[in-house]
Homo-oligomer: A and B are copies of this chain.
Amino acid sequence: MKMLKGLLSVLLVLVTLSSAMGKPEATTPKKEKRIPQTLSRGWGDQLIWAQTYEEALFWSRSKNKPLMVIFHLEDCPHSQSLKKAFAEDKVIQTLADEEFVILNLVYETTDKHLSPDGQYVPRILFVDPSMTVRADITGRYSNRLYAYEPADMKLLLSNMQRALKFLKTEL
């Protein structure tokens, strides 16, 4: 079952990549200007995003800020609608900017701790500066513990506050 989920995830990525990489070449003339890809990918253009998980862990440790990892896919409508809600929520954007190291990924990492109940999108995991994945900070859905929907922004905000609170208690 895990294998199947992994395979499905790879297939999903493949679909996304082929649409991301294939279409411009196939449908637009070579000379047409592409829009440079951003690290934010639309999750908050004004925020400073880590590029890789290794980089994010390093920032998290050195700044003593919790890390928030968002897994998503460009071709997934649930990811897209969550992204819109996330990017438009000023309280979340400000808190993410000031108190978190943030990373959004369209590709799984090799760290299995980041997929406690499987690889699916969208999902959001918190990691504290000691590099421990906070598997206890979950969303509303028992079958996909780390999934959020656009209506869950209040829950996400309170989870972000939990990630920060834990940090203070531990110090």
Contact = CB atoms under 8 A, between A and B. Distances in A.
Nearest to A62: B14
A161 B21 CA distance: 22
Given A10-B58, A55-B106, A58-B10, A37 B46 contact: no
A168 B141 CA distance: 49
Contact of A109 (B14, B54, B106): B54
Contacts of A137: none
Interface of A: 10, 13-14, 17, 20-21, 24, 33-34, 36-40, 45-46, 48-49, 51-55, 58-59, 62-63, 105-110
Query: This chain: how many copies in the complex?
Result: 2
Contacts of A36: 38-40, 45-46
Contact of A62 (B17, B20, B49, B109): B17
